[in-house]
Amino acid sequence: MRPTQKLADRAGVPEPGIPAASPRSVWATIGDLLPYLWPRDSVALRARVVLAVVLLVAAKVATLYVPYVFSRAVDALSGWQTLAPVLTPVALVLAYGALRVASAAFGELRDILFAPVRFRVSRVIAMQSFRHMHQLSLRFHLDRQTGAVTRAIDRGTEGIETLLRVGVFSIVPTLLEAAMVIGVIWHLFGLSYAALMVMAVAAYVGFTLLFTSWRMRIRRRMNDINAEASNKALDSLLNYETVKYFGNERHEERRYDEAQARYERAAVSTQLSLNGLNIGQAVIIAVALTAVMLMAAHDVEAGRYGVGRFVLVNTYLMQLYLPLNFLGSVYAALRTSFVDMEHMFALMNEAAEVTDPARPRPLAARLDQAPAASVRFEDVRFGYRPSREILHGVSFSVPTGGHVAVVGATGAGKSTLSRLLFRFYDVTSGRVLVDGHDVRDYTQADLRAAIGVVPQDTVLFNDTIGYNIAYGRIGASREEVENAARLAQIHDFIISLPEGYDTTVGERGLKLSGGEKQRVAIARTILKNPRVLLLDEATSALDTQTERDIQSALRTVSRHRTTIVIAHRLSTVIDADEILVMADGRIVERGPHARLLAAGGLYARMWASQSHENDPDRGGDTSRDRIDAEVQPV
């Protein structure tokens, strides 16, 4: 058991938010996997599968003959049997060596032929899973932990490799060999020998499977405790500053040590259960081997068989014992593999909430391909959950090249408008139109290519600044990237860095300040050159001077585009053609800045409140570069 114990190190525990395997999951998973093993578009891969199966059988036939030829050599050397002239002891020994070489060579050739199939299947399924994850809606990804989804894909592909490596070329050959050996024993020694070997194999397999099933529960508990300890360590290190702020290093050490102590106890129990499994397997094999050897010794003494037959039956039983010795770990690994594969296939079978039409309309993406697009919301109703409607009959329009701002308190539904326009969700009722047509008439790729978004929470890839800006239009030249950076007022900052545009920004862009990240996001959207510009608190993380510079740049960039600004800070939207004031999912006021102030309604009160906060003579907050703590409505 010990050499392959690593195969069963992880029990198949469902990830949070990932569908669990159903009772029929094994057969369903095999059915999902078979088309990949027999691809219609690749004759070469199918030929490899066939040849691998042929070599598998050939290797087992050669293995089956090894003990038989060895026993004949023993008989020849002991003078028990007169052989044909060609069957000299030397010839038998040479044949024995040749069969051993053939058995090993056929096995290695089988692996060589099948390796491209195994890794190709894993790559194709991983790619399809990854593509499908991008096709699923934002609701799916918000409801699940991203780490759990990626782990399900990783574990699923690992499970496929394990199944193809261990299941196909370990379990199947072992069962085939067991059947062949028992058949040969029956033919050479009679039914009593064959029956005893069948009982020994059945007892060994039954004990191993039952004991391993019980043992997997112990391993699962150990793995859960290990994951808990790892999570505590990760959480503590991620909150390094908080730990230091409150001087709680000893508290964190105690928590981690308590988790490690529980893991220690569980690991000891796991090791003891492994020792128990090994002892039980050894006892069954020893009893069976002793019984068979007693029967064989009795027949040799009676003169019915030569010493070679005594060696033969012992060798066959030992030959069965060696692969069966790994059955427990292989069984655990296969169970884990099937569960992991089922989780991955369950993700792949998850229906996409937002889909493309069968006959989509064309939509130009970039401003240099077509003029700015118009946007219109017609009596839009929507809720993230059926029990809670967020938008209640919202209607407004933004003409070609128009500039509309949406303001309101947290939870009013402002950001929901951007998600519907970008078609992260479909409306419950009503319509969202771009260029006079429902957004559902376009492909998602075409629609999103025509809209540029600068979000409130900017997340960057752990790559260079140049890469993050160029992400707005893959393949853009360095000159285009730098021009976009200049318009976003970040070029001078970038070239002041030692590595310039090749500076790595760190995970999620943590090496940059909030304002720097925001300007990178703006540059990325400028480079995209979309027909519609959507600014969701685009300057919320900028200081006063930078905000003014960016606002000036954005005015220049949005001059020929249809622009929708979602804002909490009213000073950033006073030059909008129309300002929409939202409250409780409805538009309660609309009009230009001056008219709304004169009306003395909600907008005027919001303006007065923010002016009071930022008036130094009244002791208000003079920090214009703070990040407003607005939470996206859910």
| pLDDT score, position 146 | 54
| pLDDT score, position 20 | 47
List the structure tokens of 208.
Answer: 């191993």
Backbone angles phi, psi at 403, to 5 degrees: -135, 105
For the stretch 270-289, pLDDT in tens is 888 888 888 888 888 888 88
| pLDDT score, position 170 | 73
**573: burial class by Cβ within 10 Å (0-12, 13-18, 19+)?**
buried
- Where residue 543 falls among pLDDT bands split at 50, 70, 90? low
pLDDT for 462 beyond 70: yes
Considering the domain 2-348 in this protein, what is its CATH number? 1.20.1560.10
Higher pLDDT residue, 482 or 223? 482
Report how far apart, in Å, the C-alpha atoms of 181 and of each of 185, 307, 382 are. 6, 19, 68
Backbone angles phi, psi at 234, to 5 degrees: -65, -45
Cβ neighbours of residue 485 under 8 Å, at least 6 residues apart?
Answer: 469, 491, 494, 523
CATH for 359-450+531-634 (3.90.950.20, 3.40.50.300, 3.30.465.10, 3.10.180.10) = 3.40.50.300
Average pLDDT over residues 252-261: 87
Average pLDDT over residues 357-377: 89
| pLDDT score, position 400 | 92
Report how far apart, in Å, the C-alpha atoms of 240 and of each of 192, 237, 247, 505 are. 70, 5, 10, 20
Superfamily of domain 460-529: P-loop containing nucleotide triphosphate hydrolases (3.40.50.300)
Q: What percent of the chain has pLDDT over 70?
A: 83
Backbone angles phi, psi at 298, to 5 degrees: -65, -40
**18: burial class by Cβ within 10 Å (0-12, 13-18, 19+)?**
buried
List the structure tokens of 531.
Answer: 């027909």
| pLDDT score, position 394 | 94
Mean pLDDT, the chain, rounded, equals 79
| DSSP classification of residue 360 | P
pLDDT for 364 beyond 50: yes
For the stretch 243-254, pLDDT in tens is 887 888 888 888
- Where residue 8 falls among pLDDT bands split at 50, 70, 90? very low
For the stretch 91-133, pLDDT in tens is 878 888 888 888 888 888 888 888 888 788 878 887 877 777 7
Least confident of 370-384, 440-454, 511-525, 579-593: 511-525
CATH 1.20.1560.10, the chain: domain bounds: 2-348
- Using DSSP's 3-state secondary structure scheme, residue 29 falls into helix
Average pLDDT over residues 588-610: 91
For the stretch 152-195, pLDDT in tens is 677 777 777 777 777 676 777 777 878 888 888 888 888 888 88
CATH 3.40.50.300, the chain: domain bounds: 359-450+531-634, 460-529
